[in-house]
């Protein structure tokens, strides 16, 4: 059994850790509310805009289709992996890295696959594989639509120039504080809704349908990427709050166990001292 000083040091260390994890939990909880409200308010707009553009794209002739819906033989694939800049958030980052590796090694094993890292954790993981073409981790420093739009414009430009034939997004979708769903979405090319049942033709277009599609598609793609990053941002705080809550509970349990061990060791030490005193007194009497 460890001596009393060692146990006291461990109790002090665990108590300090518990204070840190408790503080991190409260910080993440405060940030989560704002991030959750932002993504909840944005989803209906983003989903409806995407649905409208897919419906319009489905009604266009193949020759008049948008340059962003061009279907080419897939040789080069870009995976946009969205993680966080910091850890201590459970399996949040590892799930994205794992899913991205599935795309690289299984789904597109016969293709040339590169990664655009949004988040330092993704950059650290895939830089070791020489897969990263750019690191956009700084977007989380000031998460605004304009900053994300610059990244979306770069992705659209690379697709139009033919550098990549398909672009996929991999991110955590926010469900609640305890649950994040790993999503893989095709960013480019745009896939029109199949089937006439899903195409609503009850619209009057002014100007032409083609002009509307060409104007709105860049905005829709920017919104889609912004939604993905916003989703990931909210999921990060939810995952960190949950992870720090569990860490605090574990630290509390460990501290209580150490205190019990300390009291037992202290009691044993006192008992030994009493026995030594009694034994010494008896020796003197004899």
Q: What is the pLDDT of residue 119?
A: 95
Reply yes or no on whether the pLDDT at 187 is more than 90: yes
Q: What is the pLDDT of residue 275?
A: 85
Range of the domain at 158: 34-243
For 219, the token pair is 């905005």
Q: What is the pLDDT of residue 212?
A: 74
End-to-end CA distance of the chain: 34
Percent with pLDDT over 70 in the chain? 91
The residue-averaged pLDDT of 150-176 equals 95
Residue 238 maps to a domain: yes
Cβ neighbours of residue 202 closer than 8 Å, sequence gap 6 or more? none
Residue 123 maps to a domain: yes
Active site residue 89: yes
The residue-averaged pLDDT of 187-198 equals 68
**pLDDT tens digits for range 79-129:** 999 999 999 999 999 999 999 999 999 999 999 999 999 999 999 999 999
Reply yes or no on whether the pLDDT at 145 is more than 70: yes
Cα–Cα dist 82/229, whole Å: 7
Residue 23 maps to a domain: no
Q: What is the pLDDT of residue 60?
A: 61
The residue-averaged pLDDT of 174-198 equals 80
For residue 207, give Cα distances in angstroms to 69, 231, 273: 20, 34, 96
At 64, is the pLDDT very low, low, confident or very high (cuts 50, 70, 90)? Answer: very low
Residue 264 maps to a domain: no
Q: What is the pLDDT of residue 194?
A: 59
The residue-averaged pLDDT of 14-19 equals 94
Q: What is the pLDDT of residue 59?
A: 64
Residue 112 maps to a domain: yes
Domains of the chain: total = 1
Residue 248 maps to a domain: no
CATH number of domain containing 171: 3.40.1380.10
Reply yes or no on whether the pLDDT at 229 is more than 80: yes
Please, are residues 115 and 130 in contact by the beta-carbon 8 Å criterion? no
Cα–Cα dist 202/204, whole Å: 7
Residue 24 maps to a domain: no
Residue of 7, 79, 80, 89 marked catalytic: 89
């Amino acid at each position: 059994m460890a001596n009393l000083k060692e146990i006291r040091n461990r109790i002090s260390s665990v108590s300090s850790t518990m204070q840190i994890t408790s503080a991190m939990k409260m910080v993440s909880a405060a940030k989560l509310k704002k991030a959750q409200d932002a993504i909840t308010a944005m989803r209906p707009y983003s989903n409806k805009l995407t649905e409208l553009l897919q419906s319009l794209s489905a009604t266009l002739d193949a020759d008049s289709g948008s340059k962003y819906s061009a279907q080419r033989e897939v040789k080069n694939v870009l995976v946009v992996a969205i993680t966080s800049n910091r850890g201590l958030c459970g399996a949040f980052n590892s799930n994205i890295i794992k899913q991205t590796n599935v795309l690289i090694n299984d789904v597109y094993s016969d293709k040339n696959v590169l990664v655009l890292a949004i988040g330092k954790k993704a950059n650290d993981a895939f830089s070791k594989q020489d897969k990263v073409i750019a690191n956009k981790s700084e977007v989380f420093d000031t998460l605004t639509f304009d900053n994300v739009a610059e990244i979306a414009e770069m992705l659209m430009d690379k697709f139009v120039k033919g550098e990549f034939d398909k672009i996929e997004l991999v991110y955590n979708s926010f469900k609640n504080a305890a649950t994040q769903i790993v999503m893989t979405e095709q960013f480019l090319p745009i896939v029109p809704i199949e089937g006439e049942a899903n195409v609503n033709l009850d619209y009057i277009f002014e100007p032409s349908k083609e002009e509307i599609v060409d104007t709105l598609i860049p905005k829709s793609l920017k919104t889609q990427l912004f939604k993905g990053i916003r989703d990931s941002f909210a999921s990060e705080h939810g995952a960190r709050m949950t992870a720090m809550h569990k860490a605090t509970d574990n630290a509390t349990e460990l501290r209580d166990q150490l205190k019990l061990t300390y009291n037992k060791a202290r009691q044993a030490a006192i008992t030994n001292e009493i026995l030594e005193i009694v034994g010494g007194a008896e020796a003197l009497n004899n």
